[in-house]
Amino acid sequence: MGKALIIGCGGVAGVVIHKCCQNSDVFEEIMIASRTKSKCDAIKEQLEGRTPTKIRTAKVDADNVDELCALIDEYKPDIVMNIALPYQDLTIMDACLKCGVNYMDTANYEPEDTDDPAWRAIYEKRCREAGFTAYFDYSWQWAYKEKFEKAGLTALLGSGFDPGVTQAYCAYAQKHLFDQIDTIDILDCNGGEHGYPFATNFNPEINLREVSAPGSYWEDGHWVEIPAMSIKREYDFDQVGRKDMYLLHHEEIESLAKNIPNVKRIRFFMTFGQSYLTHMKCLENVGMLSTTPIEFEGHQIVPIQFLKALLPDPATLGPRTKGKTNIGCIFTGKKDGKEKTAYIYNVCDHEACYREVGSQAISYTTGVPAMIGAAMLMTGKWSKPGVYTVEEFDPDPYMEALNKWGLPWQVNGNPVLVD
C-alpha cells in the first residue's frame, strides 16, 4: 500500500512500529526516525525477518524543520506519524506542509517553555477568552486548517486512546445509538501495578504537567474550571473493580464540545491511587514539577526534565506491570423520543500486551489507535483536506479496526452513571 515515516522511538512508538509491521498490507515500508538512532536500530533488529514490512532507520531532530524536510524528501513517505513529544507537533506539521505529505499525531500541541513571552501572551489571551488555563489546547493546530486545505493535505490530530478512541466512541454513539447526546463522561482507569513506589505510565514530563493542572469540564456552552484534583468520584470498573477517579482537563473535551451538537456536559475522569497523589503533591510542593529553568552548579536545568531523568522510563514498565485498564465513555441522551444511556469501553490486559509487543497497556492503548489512524489515511477511508480530530470522520472503519487490531470494545446499555 505505502510508506510511513514514524518519528519517535519511545514506549508508544515501539507499539506503533510493532502494529505497523503486523499490518504489512498497508504499511509495506516504514522508516523509524529519532534523535537516538541506536534505539531505532534496536527495534529494527528485533523485527526484521518477522515481518514482510521493510524497515529503515534514521537520525532526525524533530525540532528542526529543515532537517525533517531533508528526511521526508529523501524517503518520500505517504504519511508522517508524529509519535514524538507534543512540543514538536508544530515543527513536524510545518515540515509536512513544506514537503506535501499527510500528518497524524496522538496528542495536541503544548509548549516546552511555558515562560516564553510570545507564547505566554497568546496563552493568557486564550485563558481570558476560552475560560480554561491548561497549557495544552487545539488552537495552535487548528490554525493550520486553511494551510492544509489549500495544500490538499490531511492532518489527523490525537489518534491515541484518549484523545482518539474516546472520540471515535462519541462519533459512533452519535451515528448509531442516539438522536441527541446530552452528556458524556470519559473514564480512564488504569488498574495496573508496576511495583515501584512512584512512576508514570507515559512520558513523566507530560503526565505530571497534565495531572497537576486545574481541572475543567464543559457545561451549558462554557468551561467550568476547578482546583486540581478537587472533584473525586468512585466507580466500579468492569474487570478492574472499585477505583477512585478525579476530574481533569483533557483535550478531547475541547473538540467534542465543538463537534457534538447541543451536548450539555462533557467531563473527563482518571483514576489515581493515594500513593501516586502523595508523591506528586510532595514533588509539586518542592518545585520539581516546574518548567522554569534554574541555575545549578553553573548549568541551566528544568526541574521537571531533571525529575523525568530520575523516574523509571515508562518503556521499561512492561515486564513489571500486572492488571488491566478500562477506558470508555458513558453517554446519556435520547433515541426515538426516549431517554437512553450507553457505555462504550475497552478492557486491556497489561500482561497480554507485554506478551504481544513488549509493552504495558498504557503504551499499547495509545500505539494501536495511532497505527489505525494512519491506516485510515493511507487507505483513503478517511480523506479530506484540512486539520481534523477523530470524531470528524466516519467512525465505522476505525471502530472495526479496533476490534481487529487488539482493542475490542463493548457496549453496556444500562451503565451506572457518574453523579
Complete DSSP assignment for 390-407: GGGS-HHHHHHHHHHTT-
- Amino acid identity of residue 85, one-letter, is L
Q: What is the model's pLDDT at position 209?
A: 75
Q: Are both 261 and 119 inside the same structural domain? A: no
Q: What is the model's pLDDT at position 200?
A: 81
Helices (H) and strands (E) in the chain, counts: 15, 18
Q: Are both 180 and 43 inside the same structural domain? A: no
Assign residue 23 the CATH number of its domain.
3.40.50.720
Q: What is the model's pLDDT at position 227?
A: 94
Q: What is the model's pLDDT at position 53?
A: 98
Residue 365 lies in a domain: no
Which residues of the chain are under the pLDDT cut of 70?
202
Assign residue 282 the CATH number of its domain.
3.30.360.10
Q: Are both 244 and 106 inside the same structural domain? A: no
Q: Are both 342 and 193 inside the same structural domain? A: yes
Domain count, the chain: 2
Residue 396 lies in a domain: no
pLDDT tens-place string over residues 221-244: 999 999 999 999 999 999 999 999
- Amino acid identity of residue 275, one-letter, is S
User: 369: cis peptide before it, omega within 30°?
Assistant: no
Q: What is the model's pLDDT at position 277?
A: 82
Q: What is the model's pLDDT at position 218?
A: 98
Q: What is the model's pLDDT at position 193?
A: 87
Q: Which residues contact 37 (CB under 8 A, 6 or more apart)?
A: 57, 58, 59
State the DSSP string of 216-278: EEEETTEEEEE-TT--EEEEEETTTEEEEEEE---HHHHHHHHHSTT--EEEEEEE--HHHHH
Q: Are both 198 and 50 inside the same structural domain? A: no
Instruction: Show which of 328, 358, 388 is a domain's final residue.
Output: 358
Domain that holds residue 32: 2-157
Q: Are both 56 and 151 inside the same structural domain? A: yes
Q: State how far the Cα of 88 lies from the Cα of 123, in Å rounded to an integer.
A: 17
Residue 377 lies in a domain: no
Q: Are both 342 and 241 inside the same structural domain? A: yes
Q: Which DSSP helix (H) or strand (E) runs through 386? A: strand 386-389
CA distances from 403 to 302, 318, 351, 363, 409 (A): 42, 22, 19, 17, 7
Residue 181 lies in a domain: yes
Q: Beta-carbon neighbour count of residue 337 at 10 Å? A: 7
Q: Are both 59 and 172 inside the same structural domain? A: no
Q: Are both 109 and 255 inside the same structural domain? A: no
Q: Are both 179 and 124 inside the same structural domain? A: no
Q: Are both 344 and 243 inside the same structural domain? A: yes
Beta pairing class for 232-237 and 241-247:
antiparallel
Instruction: Show which of 91, 125, 157 is a domain's final residue.
Output: 157
Q: Which residues contact 263 (CB under 8 A, 6 or more apart)?
A: 181, 182, 183, 184, 218, 256, 257
Residue 397 lies in a domain: no
Q: What is the model's pLDDT at position 284?
A: 86
Residue 237 lies in a domain: yes
Exposure string of 97-121, with b = 16+ CB inside 10 Å and e = fewer, is: bebebbbbbbbbbbbeeeeeeebee
Q: What is the model's pLDDT at position 206?
A: 73
Instruction: Show which of 358, 383, 412 is a domain's final residue.
Output: 358
Residue 363 lies in a domain: no
pTM of this structure: 0.94
Q: Are both 149 and 178 inside the same structural domain? A: no
Residue 197 lies in a domain: yes
Q: What is the model's pLDDT at position 315?
A: 76
Comparing CA positions, the residue from 97, 40, 43 lying closest to residue 68 is: 97
